[in-house]
Each structure stands twice: as structure tokens, then as C-alpha cells.
């Protein structure tokens, strides 16, 4: 439903009750152009805790050791942690 801004101003509280009841938004126009929308507040959502329940399936033993050696455990990533700071330069004599 589109409504001119002047009418919206005059009937604001009534229109808010209508949106709450019908759950349909109202577009407020100014000189025929849409400028605002009065819409219903979304219903309270349930907690996100557990929303993915039943979407995964565990196959095999998740506690068994892996057959793959991690590079972090075998020093394979030491080159990533080298000290790259430059040594301090000695002070210049005047």
C-alpha cells in the first residue's frame, strides 16, 4: 500500500496499528516518489544454538590418530616464524 507523506503524518498511529495487524508494509511517498517504508517488526527468532542439529553425520572413529603428519608438528613451518626485523643501526657520530 502506498500513502502520501501528508496522510501518513495525519494517521501515523492508526497506520502503525494496521501494519501490526496485517503484517503488510506501507510505502510512504513524497510527490509520488517512495521515500520510506513502514513495515512490521520481524517475529522473534529462536536461539541459534542447535540450529544445525541433524545436518552432519559422523563416519568412522573421530578420536583415532591421523595418518597424516601435520607440518606444525614437524617443524615444516619454521620459515614462517623467522625474525624478520632488521638489526638496530648504531648511532651516528657527530
What single string gives the DSSP state of each residue in 2-38? EEEHHHHHHHHHHHHHHHHHH---EEEEETTEEEEEE
Give per-residue pLDDT as tens, 24-78: 999 999 999 999 999 998 877 778 888 888 998 888 888 888 787 777 667 667 6
pLDDT given for residue 68 in this prediction: 77
- Which of 36 and 83 is assigned the larger pLDDT? 36
The confidence score (pLDDT) of residue 67 equals 80
26-30/33-38 β-pairing: antiparallel
> Does domain 2-38 match CATH 3.40.630?
no
DSSP 28-81: EEETTEEEEEE-PPPPPPPPSTTTTTTS----S-TTSPPSSPPTTTTTTTGGGG
pTM: 0.47
Task: Please compute, for residue 40, the number of CA atoms within 13 A of its CA located in the half-sphere on the CB side.
Answer: 12
Cell triple for 36? 520510506
Amino acid at each position: 500500500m502506498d500513502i502520501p507523506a501528508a496522510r501518513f503524518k495525519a494517521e501515523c498511529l492508526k497506520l502503525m496499528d494496521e501494519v501490526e495487524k496485517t503484517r503488510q508494509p506501507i510505502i510512504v511517498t513524497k510527490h509520488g516518489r517512495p521515500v520510506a517504508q513502514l513495515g512490521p517488526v520481524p517475529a522473534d527468532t529462536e536461539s541459534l544454538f542447535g540450529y544445525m542439529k541433524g545436518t552432519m553425520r559422523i563416519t568412522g572413529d573421530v578420536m583415532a590418530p591421523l595418518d597424516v603428519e601435520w607440518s606444525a608438528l614437524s617443524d615444516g613451518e619454521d620459515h614462517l616464524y623467522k625474525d624478520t626485523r632488521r638489526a638496530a643501526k648504531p648511532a651516528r657520530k657527530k
